[in-house]
Amino acid sequence: MLQKAIQFLKDARAELKRVTWPTRKQTLASTAVVLIIVFIVAIYLGIIDYILAKLVRVILG
């Protein structure tokens, strides 16, 4: 059982060495895209929430 775990860790380490990791520039660009999308979605949801809250207040008087 222990031998299987050790072999698994060796294989995982070897596989990680074969991974092509993104450059710092690629990582920063991807992060910027994600942050912009999150910001846009947050604004959109905030506007929808505001409109629905106003609508509920009008309906419930």
Distance CA 59, CA 55 (A): 6
**And the tokens for 23?**
């450059």
> What letter represents residue 2's amino acid?
L
Q: What is the pLDDT along the chain (61 residues), one digit of tens a residue?
A: 899 999 999 999 999 999 999 999 999 999 999 999 999 999 999 999 999 999 999 999 8
Residue 35 has a pLDDT of 99
Residues of the chain by 3-state class (helix, strand, coil), percent to 5: 90, 0, 10
Distance CA 50, CA 30 (A): 30
